[in-house]
């Protein structure tokens, strides 16, 4: 989701900027922030991406 031009702003702000039209929001914004895949045979996990805790805190008004 950090490849979206809208990344870095709370979703409510982004949604409002598109006049609350969900289909105008950049689809890349809905990409997962972090993915963890675990190999069922070996138990080894692979992680890609990261969470933006500051943005989450702002988005939920905390």
What is the percent of the chain with per-residue pLDDT over 70, rounded to a whole number?
A: 100
Is pLDDT of 42 > 90?
yes
- Measured from the Cβ of residue 15, the count of other Cβ atoms closer than 10 Å reads 16
Is pLDDT of 3 > 90?
no
Average pLDDT over residues 27-33: 88
Q: How much is the pTM?
A: 0.68
- Could you report the per-residue pLDDT of 14-27, keeping only the tens digit for each? 999 999 999 999 99
Average pLDDT over residues 35-40: 97
């Amino acid at each position: 989701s950090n490849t979206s031009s809208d990344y870095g702003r709370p979703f409510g702000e982004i949604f409002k900027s598109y006049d609350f039209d969900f289909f105008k929001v950049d689809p890349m914004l809905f990409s997962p922030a972090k993915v963890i895949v675990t190999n069922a045979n070996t138990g080894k996990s692979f992680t890609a991406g990261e969470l933006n805790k500051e943005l989450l805190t702002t988005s939920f008004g905390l």
